[in-house]
Amino acid sequence: METQTRNQSLRIKEGRTELIVNHNGEDLTFIHPSYGPNDYANVGNSIEQAGLRRPTMAETASLVYTTFNSDDKYSKEIKDLMEKIWLWAFTGSLYIPRGVYIQDDPEIRNRMPFMEESDLVKRLEANDKNVRFVPFGFKTESMTSRELEKNPYVIALAGEEGASKLAEVADKHRNERPYIWSFETVDRPLTRVAALCSYLDSNNRLNIGGGGHGFGRNGYSFGVQKTGEASRAEKQNLLELLSNI
């Protein structure tokens, strides 16, 4: 199974270390080091306080895909961390009895994504690309990488490209059967967070978390450079150049 992307190897800029990946045909820049380990809310707040943006699940999938196709110290660090703790992805899930709403980077309140069905319905009707809905019936728990790639919940979480990338990452684990931690049905609304890791019961395989509260202090994430923002190193070089004029 192959994903048609360019520049699959991780491209690195030192200084404020920039980890540059291909995401939907464009460059996406993550900033090293990571934030954490801590709970979902604290990691998200730390990223924002640093002037960075919290990564969605689709963006996180592109980071993980690129690191699993690279051989450098930063990629090794990310893979090692995924074998120990969760990599938070800031895409929330609101489960209701008939299915699940998914929203990219929702507001965080009381340590959880803040998602209201009435607001999500309006945004869906307005064709807001940051909101999706998937009815129950999708497969959960252990499956093949091909089933993962076509899973409606994973596609809603990470997009079609992201689902394909995660399926390829799953094939690079010792156990090639990935695991989706989600719900098959609920009897009341439940808001949950998204995450990725490479462990479950000491079994090395890709795990996609969609059913956790995010309260555990065992997760981390990398902030994303905001669009159009020059790196600190580039700004410093410009200031030095101007001071010599």
How sure is the predictor about 233, in pLDDT bands with cuts at 50, 70 and 90? very low
**Section 158-178 average pLDDT:** 96
pLDDT at 203: 83
Calculate what percentage of the chain has a pLDDT beyond 90. Answer: 83
Has residue 197 got a pLDDT over 80?
yes
Q: Is the pTM of this model over 0.75?
A: yes
Per-residue pLDDT tens over the stretch 129-163:
999 999 999 999 999 999 999 999 999 999 999 99
Strands 207-212 and 179-181: parallel
State the DSSP code for 53: B
Banded pLDDT at 11 (limits 50, 70, 90): confident
Provide the 8-state DSSP code for 98: T
pLDDT band at residue 228 under the 50/70/90 scheme: low
**Nearest-angstrom CA–CA distance, 89 and 83:** 16
DSSP 142-211: E--HHHHHH-HHHHHHHHHHHHHHHHHHHHTSSS---EEE--S--SS-EEEEEEEES-STT--S-EEEEE
Q: Which amino acid is at 103?
A: Q
pLDDT tens for each residue of 13-33: 766 899 999 999 999 999 999
How high is the pLDDT of residue 231? 46
Distance separating alpha carbons of residues 230 and 245, to the nearest angstrom: 21
